[in-house]
Chains A and B, each alone.
Chain A
Amino acid sequence: MEENLLLENFQKKVDAEIKVEPKDWMPEKYRKTLIRQISQHAHSEVVGMLPEANWLTRAPSLRRKMILLAKIQDEAGHGLYLYSSAETLGADRQDLIEELLDGKAKYSSIFNYPTLTWADIGSVGWLVDGAAIMNQVMLTRTSYGPYARAMVRICKEESFHQRQGFEIVATLANGTAEQKEMAQDSLNRWWWPSLMMFGPTDDLSPNSALSMKWKIKRKSNDELRQDFIDRTVQQAEAIGLTVPDKDLKWNEERGHYDFGEINWDEFFEVIKGNGPCNQERLTARQEAYKKGSWVREAAKVHAAKKAVSKAA
């Protein structure tokens, strides 16, 4: 069939809300966009374990430690679901992992910020996972079947992450003056980077229009950001914390909160690799990969040995 006709049929299918499956014809740009987006998403899950691991041995109680371990294990699982989806598009997992280790691949810039206090583990769950959920809930309806299915699994697991984070922050906020201050300080540092997670404003987001047309995305960066703010402000108020934005104000007419200017220079600096922890995160991933090499080798040798004894 002619390319134009194929493209037309593809768009009709997407418009009719029929999911695109791995063996179906799809425009090359659709495939490439998805591989890029899904692999970045997978890398984010993997790198996202690092700021949390920082507090694993210093969690304040056994309960908190078990929860954090379970959450980190979930993040590893989420990475795997996503790498799987990327593979259905013809990407090679080992290539994707190498791109991450070589520093060529992007991941969510939020993970280049440090977790300085225990309260930050709360903020990561409440705000960072909370922002991620806004995006991921939308993606459960994305047009590419395997990606949508991975998102359904992820969303089911993710809501525990956000709640456990909020519980940590709420507990501190109701604690001693010092604990409350720790919670507020953490909110002050994580609020703006969390808003940046939704990406540049719509007018500066060049790939968005096509992604919306192909229903890879269904809400724009600005819409998702606004939804997140509207939900989260009330949660902060409920535990007596103040969102660090002097321009934040309920706008009766719009039915949304108005909010202050986001520091986009900071965002682009972090993306370029100049955030507080970019180098540290990359080094930690490379180290972990190196240290795990004996496991990978042993598994291969073990499988080969068993195959031989089975054949004998």
Chain B
Amino acid sequence: MSQNEKTNWPLWEVFIQSKPGLSHKHVGNVHATDAQSAIENARDVYTRRSEGTSIWVIPANAISASSPDDEGEFFEPANDKVYRHPTFYKIPKGVKYL
């Protein structure tokens, strides 16, 4: 194998919208030389059974992510605010449509 083949093609993360009205959802990734071929590869790899109506591809190295190490503290502020959920509130019996 020649040395110049050693490098992988860039990695693209693939997001698919399964039907109009829904969000695009991450399904996996593909290697491709450019965005257009990444979209075509993603179609062949992830939508062989009509799973999608739209595809986004994003260079994998363009994604920034939160760190799992401080997952606890990072999401902490949301944990003690149960009053943000409707089930926190008591509603008198017989009251409807609320």
A contact residues vs B (CB 8 Å cutoff): 21, 23-25, 70, 73-74, 77, 80-81, 84, 87, 92-94, 98, 101, 149-150, 153, 157, 293, 296, 299-300, 302-303, 306-307
Contacts and interface: CB of A to CB of B under 8 A. Distances in A.
B28 A84 contact: yes
Given A21-B68, A150-B28, A303 B33 contact: yes
B33 A299 contact: yes
Nearest to B29: A84
Contacts of A84: 28-30
21 contacts: A21-B68, A23-B68, A24-B68, A25-B68, A25-B69, A73-B44, A74-B48, A77-B45, A81-B45, A94-B7, A98-B1, A101-B1, A150-B28, A153-B28, A157-B48, A293-B5, A299-B9, A299-B33, A300-B9, A300-B33, A307-B34
Interface in B6-50: 6-9, 11, 28-34, 36-37, 44-45, 48-49
Given A24-B68, A73-B48, A84-B28, A94 B6 contact: yes
B5 A296 contact: yes
B65 interface: yes
Contact of B37 (A23, A87, A98, A303): A303
Contacts of A150: 28
The list of the 8 closest CB pairs from A to B, nearest first, reads A303-B33, A303-B34, A299-B33, A23-B68, A24-B68, A94-B8, A77-B45, A80-B45
Contacts of A24: 68
B39 to A, nearest CB: 13
Given A23-B68, A25-B69, A101-B1, 19 more contacts: A23-B65, A23-B67, A24-B68, A25-B68, A70-B48, A74-B48, A77-B48, A81-B28, A81-B45, A84-B29, A93-B8, A94-B8, A149-B28, A150-B28, A296-B5, A299-B33, A300-B33, A303-B33, A303-B34
Contacts of A21: 68
Contacts of A153: 28
Nearest to B14: A84
Contacts of B6: 94
Nearest to A299: B33
A93 B31 contact: yes
Contacts of B34: 302-303, 306-307
Nearest to A21: B68
A29 to B, nearest CB: 20
Nearest to B10: A303
Contacts of A81: 28, 45
A270 B44 CA distance: 34
Nearest to B37: A299
**In the complex, which of the residues B1, B6, B48, B49 has the most CB atoms of chain A within 10 Å of its own CB atom?**
B1
A290 to B, nearest CB: 9
A149 B30 CA distance: 15
Contacts of A98: 1
Contacts of B36: 306
Contacts of B68: 21, 23-25
A139 B69 CA distance: 26
Contacts of A25: 68-69
A150 B34 CA distance: 24
Contacts of B33: 299-300, 302-303
A303 B37 CA distance: 9
B19 to A, nearest CB: 17
Contacts of A299: 9, 32-33, 37
Contacts of B5: 94, 293, 296
Nearest to B30: A80
Contacts of A157: 48-49
